[in-house]
Structure 1
Amino acid sequence: MEAHYISPTFSHSFTHPIRAQNSASSNAADKTTYLAALRNKSAQLQQEVNGFLTQKMEEDVQSAAQEGKVKKSQAEERAEEMYG
């Protein structure tokens, strides 16, 4: 499982490997185990991406405020629009 962040100045990849399910063993227990692992990895990936985006947003706000280009509240609003 992968996610990629790409901006004009920076890129970052997030990877959480998960072993593929063997289609030959399609019993319910194997499927349940695989889906539980997939759900766990998805949650981990989402948490990592959210943390990264929050960090980037805070860095952008601080950078804009330090440069005196905009007030901190305006920088925060702009970052929220960019990162969601």
Structure 2
Amino acid sequence: MATNSQLNLQAVYAAPDASKVFTHEIPPASSTDSFAAKQSHLTTLQSLVPRLQEEINVFLTERMEEDKKTQGAISEKEAKEEENYGEEVVEEDA
């Protein structure tokens, strides 16, 4: 017996400071059990997965850019240390 319950393709992002739910509705499958109906349903699902992945990638890229901006306020000393990482720096007495 087939049911007409709602199906969703869903991914959840959860972090200590934010969360987001990505959802795409999966159209109900045909009530027939034919091969063509199943194939159509799977084709729809296959087209939704890359769209969901793209939305997640855009969101995560935005989050990374926000994090870079908030971390961009590093001290001058830290910036100099990062710039000279791996190099020996000899400070001269003035």
**TM-score w.r.t. length of structure 1:** 0.72
Structure 1: which 5+ runs fail to align? 75-84
Match of 2:55 among 23, 48, 53: 48
Where is the helix percentage greater, Structure 1 or Structure 2? 1
Segments ≥4 residues shifted beyond 3 Å:
none
SS of residue matched to 1:16: strand
Structure 2 counterpart of 1:26, which letter? D
Query: Shift of the alpha carbon at 1:63?
Result: 1.1
**Alignment correspondent of 2:74:** 68
Percent of aligned pairs sharing the same letter: 33
**Alignment correspondent of 2:87:** none
Aligned length: 70
Match of 1:12 among 20, 41, 47: 20
Aligned mates of 2:57, 2:43 — CA distance in 1 = 21
Query: Shift of the alpha carbon at 1:27?
Result: 1.1
Where is the strand percentage greater, Structure 1 or Structure 2? 2
**TM-score w.r.t. length of structure 2:** 0.65
What is the root-mean-square deviation of aligned Cα atoms in Å?
A: 1.9
Query: Which structure is larger by alpha-carbon Rg, 1 or 2?
Result: 2
Query: Shift of the alpha carbon at 1:19?
Result: 2.6
Structure 2: which 5+ runs fail to align? 1-8, 83-94
